[in-house]
Amino acid sequence: MKFITYTLAILGLGVASCGPGSHGKQSSVDTVTNQKFKAYEDQFIEQLWKENPEWATQVGFHQYDSLLTIPDAKARTLRLEFSKRHLDSLKGFDLNELNLSQQTDYHLIQNYLESNIWSIEEERSYEWNPSSYNVSGLIAFMLAENYAPLATRLEAVHQRLVKIPAYYEAAKKQVKNPALVLTDLAIQQNLGGLSVFEHDLRDSLKSSNLSAAEQSAIQKASNQAVVAIKGFIQFLKTNPNPAPRSFRLGQELYEAKFNFDIQSGSTAAQIYDAAIARKSYLHGEMYKISKDLWPKYFGSTLPPRDSLLLIRKMIDTLSVNHVEAAEFQTAIEAQIPKLVAFVKEKDLLYIDDSKPLVVRKEPAYMAGVAGASISAPGPYDKGGNTYYNVGSLAGWSKEASESYLREYNHYILQILNIHEAIPGHYTQLVYANQSPSLIKSILGNGAMIEGWAVYTEQMMLENGYGDNAPEMWLMWYKWHLRTVCNAILDYSVHVKNWSEQDAMHLLVDEAFQQQAEAAGKWKRVSVSSVQLTSYFTGYKEIYDLREAVKQQEGQQFNLKTFNEKFLSFGNSPVKYIREMMLK
Ligand code: ZN
Ligand code: ZN
């Protein structure tokens, strides 16, 4: 519900223009570009796409669209060689001779390469995570995204299709002691992906102007791909697996993955401790507000003795205030200009009006996941629109729809719009686009991006958004508690061996979630790791940085200047932005 569609990449709004001076003071940082490093970056990116043709397709670089990486030992050797070769190249540069933006690029490239090596040599998820083998998303993307004429895309699809049998043959040979839940996921997702071949591709062929002979050749290759996928599913179902690996990452791998993926200034254990402390703080605040609000909603009825029950009762009562299903998208649309006006009135940061956000009904190929997301054009797709995709509730049962609308009630819907759009993800994207570093858009830091969106929720409320109504604060705390508990849950499950029951207790009793939402989260934490901590980690680091800058600047501190300067560094890990801002 609060995610950005990474498949379409993060940056590249193209021409977003901010007048000079609109971002407050230009920093006195060294902005002289080291040309040698710039040339190296270009060369690195070119080789990166050759090394990762599937990823290249999805960021909009289409030179290698006909290639499909066969996931075998040879591919891993090539990837190791690529990574070690480029780590050597990086050693040829002195960080002190790069400007600040390039220094961050350097760190991002280095982190990416070291992460590759770690993943192949230590994590080895190609053995125990069969869900990493799936081609349907890639083919669906090529059919649905209109980046080239259909005939051109189908030709590239054809060349990939013929490699799919070899792809799954290799996949079978890599799988060893796979985790059961990841095996189930692989079966489910590969099964689900069959419709791409059996429906989407068929439809595309029909509406294409390819010759009958070419169409039938593609159809034949597609049929063979389907056989290969079904063979892989059959293999996963029947291959003896007497000693499956646990889906839990374990302490050592977890700490390492956290360092690579989050690039935080803290360890995973420190973030876990901070999240536990934040949870108690939130519970305390929520109790105070709920107790004060009680008479307003319940008159002289006695409140529950248990503080968590009291909070839950207040939340349930406030959640009844929501829009109707048919008005969901209109309500979101109507809120965007209000958020823009508020940000301007309070002078929180500059907002560029020249590229308005387009709110649209979620396109068909994204359907299935209700809610909202931002789709930004990829780094090579200059000038494309940025969309705010809103899921439709049409066809939902009355109960499901009501439960969803209560979750995205009057209060939370506003917070969702702050997070996704203004001044959250969308605003951040516009700023990131002005830091014209392809590296920062390709290897951008997810914790910074999510952290910013979470930080803006709090920043808006602190500045009086929602008229400081206690109801608004209570509901934001509830929403924020989800972010905090995501971090607690992820660490607890993967490092501290938590059971499903422990998880449900945290999510339902302590974070006031519905059973269905909590069950979905348990599923997510058992098939992923570390990503769930990115929201809280990024938020905490941005908030801490703001407090540190306040300390340093005292009376001089200006929120607008802070926000704009922070965003001017692009999608960099917060720890590097911190170094640059506190210099
Ligand atoms: Zn988000
Ligand atoms: Zn209702």
Q: What is the CA radius of gyration of the chain?
A: 25
Percent helix, strand and coil across the chain, each to the nearest 5: 65, 5, 30
Q: Which ligand is nearest to the CA of 429?
A: 1
Q: How far is the CA of 218 from the centre of ligand 2 (A)?
A: 49
Task: Give the span between the Cα atoms of 411 and 234, in whole angstroms.
Answer: 47
Residue showing tokens 């339902």: 508
> Ligand 2 centroid vs 406 CA: distance in angstroms?
6
Which ligand has the shortest distance to the CA of 404? 2
Distance 165 CA to ligand 1 centre (A): 37
Grouped pLDDT means (10 residues each) for the chain, 583 residues: 31 26 39 91 97 94 97 98 98 94 95 98 98 95 91 98 98 98 95 94 96 97 98 97 97 98 98 98 98 98 96 97 92 94 97 82 64 80 80 84 90 96 93 84 94 98 97 98 98 98 97 90 95 97 98 97 95 95 89
> What is the reported pTM?
0.91
Q: Which ligand is nearest to the CA of 320?
A: 2
Model pLDDT, residue 3: 32
Centre of ligand 1 to C-alpha 450, Å, is 5
Per-residue pLDDT at 379: 80
CA-to-CA separations, 552 to 349, 375, 415, 576, in angstroms, rounded = 20, 37, 30, 17
Ligand (nearest to CA of 398): 2
Ligand closest to CA 407: 2
Phi-psi region of 537 (alpha: psi -120 to 50; beta: other; left: phi over 0): alpha
Q: Are 346 and 463 in contact (CB under 8 A)?
A: yes
- From the CA of 372, the nearest ligand is 1
Q: How far apart are CA 386 and CA 377, in angstroms?
A: 6
- Angle, helices 410-420/470-494, rounded to nearest 10 degrees: 60
Residue with tokens 């599923």: 523
The reported pLDDT for the residue numbered 2 is 31
* Distance from residue 482's CA to the centre of ligand 2 (Å): 22
Tokens 């009844």, located at residue: 320
Handedness of CA 164, 165, 166, 169 (dihedral sign): positive
**C-alpha 458 – ligand 1 centre gap (Å):** 14
What lies within 8 Å, CB to CB, of 300 at 6+ separation is none
Q: Please give the DSSP secondary-structure letter assigned to residue 510.
A: I
CB distance 311 to 286 below 8 Å: yes
Ligand closest to the CA atom of residue 324: 2
Residue 51 to residue 404: CA distance in whole angstroms = 42
In the chain, the amino acid numbered 196 is V
Give the ligand whose atoms come closest to the C-alpha of residue 403: 2
Question: Cβ distance 534 to 447 under 8 Å?
Answer: yes
Q: What spacing in Å lies between the alpha carbon of 479 and ligand 2's midpoint?
A: 19
Burial readout 532-555 (b: 16 or more C-beta within 10 A, e: otherwise): bbbbbbbbbbbbebbeebeeeeee
Ligand 2 center to residue 323 CA distance, Å? 8
CA distance readout (Å), 165 to 69, 132, 189: 12, 16, 17
Q: Tell me the CA–centroid distance for residue 82 and ligand 1, in Å.
A: 32
Cis? peptide before 379, omega within 30° of 0:
no
**Nearest ligand, CA 482:** 1
Q: What sign has the CA pseudo-torsion 221, 79, 6, 247?
A: positive
How far, in Å, from the CA of 440 to the mean position of ligand 1?
18
Shortest-distance ligand to the CA of residue 401: 2
What integer pLDDT is reported at residue 575 of this predicted model?
A: 96
Please tell me the distance between residue 20's alpha carbon and the centre of ligand 2 in angstroms.
48
Helix spans in 299-327 (H): 307-319
